[in-house]
Amino acid sequence: MEMSTQFATAPAATRQISLSGFSLINSPRLNKGTAFTDHERDVFHLHGLLPPHIGDLDEQIERRMQVLDEQPTPFAKYAFLRDLQDANETLFYALLVRNVEKMLPLVYTPTVGEGCQRFSEIWRKPRGLFLSYPNKDRIEQIFSHPRYDEIKSIVVSDGERILGLGDQGAGGMGIPIGKMALYTALGGIHPEHCLPILLDVGTDSEEKLKQPIYVGWRHHRVRGQEYDDFVDTFVNAVKKRWPHVLLQFEDFAGANAARFLARYRDQLCTFNDDIQGTAAIAATTLVSAVNVTGVPLEQQKIVVVGFGSAGLGITNLLAQFVQDKGLSPEEARSRFYAIDRYGLITESTKDVHPEQRPYARKDQEVQSWRPPSGEISLLDVVRNVKPSVLIGVSGQTGAFTQEAVREMAKHTARPVIFPLSNPTSRSEATPQDLMDWTEGRALIGTGSPFPPVNVNGKTFHVAQTNNSYIFPGLALGIIASKSRHVTDTMVKAAATELIRHLPTQTNKQGSLLPPIAEARSLGRSIAEAVGKQAIKDRQAQVADENALSRELDSNIWEPVYESYEHKEA
């Protein structure tokens, strides 16, 4: 399903600009390539710098698609699109908006993972900001340039836990760049309002440190108080430069992700997509599966494999949804079984964080489950609990074993299984294996896109439980409502709005999630729901819902070429 019906083709208002010649062509935000009119070529001294052919955006899209299709690998396509973004942003976003399903896996998961691993190979032009530890005293100076006056949203990473691939150092910049691209393509947020940032505090990847072409700071990671002070310096500089900005933390190590969210969420408008966005889309997809199985959410027994920041975020939000069904907080938490690297989390499990402890099972309850090794494995849990839902955010390939899945399928008519770790190489299981092990009965949601599965000679598509359904609309709603902070109820509102659009609400045979091609139009609906919740939570700085609607409209940008007139510098 294409997005052309959501795409505005009418030209935008005339824009006055002072650049000309090479400076204009080399500005990715303003460059139009062969679509500069003959008059614009006269006024801006472009004759001779461009081929004589005068084209339009539709023609350029067709030409770029032809070249893209000829690229031999997903990474080659990713590199091509990154170059296009750095050359002509309007064309880049028009290509994305009109071909969402085809482009999303190339600019986001799974290909962005390889893009981060090989970032130093393809870095050519500045995009976003690298804030390195040696420049910690220059952050305010770096932020002060007038080019950043219009910034409304920031995505920041320190590159330590990129998807399930681990420490990528400066290569982690691929994630903020990719996330911000989806802010624009799926949320409609203007590129001029978006700033990707990488906090380069070094890397503990010996491979990166020894790599001659590595573009980051060649130093082992700064940790402890020095690291915390650096992040604090960064956040304080952000608050000073942009008091009302939205700051999204992304792909920090689990322990840092949770504590930074706790530390800063009351200081400025901030959220963590790994924790909150993942939770929202996982909860939505589970509600969709419940629509199919007919077993009420409050009766589900849910095992979560990988109980870091993402696993905890998913569990907390699902527990809220369960409480909405009338259960007490204690009863809601009892529906969950959390597994980390030491097995099932119990009262006696070592290194349990305070926020995980409410989900620890009592030792007396699980005493008979414990094998001689002492660790209660996924298979042990499945045998004793007979769960109906299995969610994985462990980053461990093959964590969902055949034996455990087959055991689960013995006791559940429609096992709900979500291997959510990204990229595909880190998925807890492949959808085809899960279908084979459950005789085709599993309801599956994956973090990254997978090929369709074959069941008894029939082909079925697998729902991609992708955060991109949530965070672009969440960000747009936050920006449009001018929210002071991001509340848990605002994140829940995003999930609740997406639930309204689930195909399984009206068709039990439907896909678990809407077509990803609808993500841009869904982004507007989610943004409105988030903004209304911000008003209810008294976080919004717009007067009412009518003002919110006007702000939403004014903050949605369509990738079409503007007409230019010369403005004296």
Q: Which residues are annotated as a binding site for (S)-malate?
A: 161, 422, 466
Identify the CA nearest to 494 among candidates 522, 463, 535: 522
How long, in residues, is the chain? 569
- Using alpha carbons, select from 144, 140, 205 the residue that is nearest to residue 172: 205
- List the structure tokens of 138: 């220059």
CB-side exposure of 60: number of CA atoms within 13 Å?
24
Q: Angle between the 278-293 and 309-323 helix axes, to the nearest 10 degrees?
A: 50
The single-letter DSSP state of residue 276 is: I
CA 535 to chain centre: 25
Contact 334, 343 (CB under 8 A): no
Q: What angle do CA 506, 529, 246 make, to 5 degrees?
A: 135
Q: Per the annotation, where are the binding residues for a divalent metal cation? A: 250-251, 274
- For residue 423, is the peptide bond before it cis, meaning its omega torsion is within 30 degrees of 0? yes
Cβ 477 vs Cβ 185: under 8 Å: no
Given the structure tokens 């000679």, which residue do they identify? 457
Q: Which helix (H) or strand (E) holds 13?
A: strand 12-17
How is residue 510 annotated by DSSP? S
Token pair belonging to 165: 């691939």
Q: At what angle do helices 100-107 and 519-536 cross, to 10 degrees?
A: 70
Q: Of 186, 180, 177, 9, which Cα lies nearest the Cα of 101?
A: 186
561 is annotated as an active-site residue: no
| Residue with the two structure tokens 């006024």 | 43
- Backbone region of residue 469 per phi and psi (left: phi > 0; alpha: psi in -120 to 50; beta: other values): alpha
Beta bridge partners of 157: 198
For 266, other C-beta atoms within 10 Å of its C-beta total 9
Sequence-distant (6+) residues with CB within 8 A of 290 are 296, 297, 300
Catalytic site residue from 32, 77, 152, 179: 179
Q: Cβ-count burial of 80 within 10 angstroms (0-12 exposed, 13-18 middle, 19+ buried)?
A: middle
Annotated binding site: 161, 250-251, 274, 422, 466
Sign of CA dihedral 298, 293, 387, 343: negative
Residue type, 52: P
Whether 108 and 180 have beta carbons less than 8 Å apart is answered as: no
| Identified catalytic residue from 93, 108, 359, 469 | 108
How many angstroms separate the most distant Cα atoms in the chain?
A: 83
Integer Cα distance of 94 and 89 in angstroms: 8
Phi, psi of 533 (to 5 degrees): -65, -35
Known catalytic residue: 337? no
Q: Which residues are catalytic?
A: 108, 179
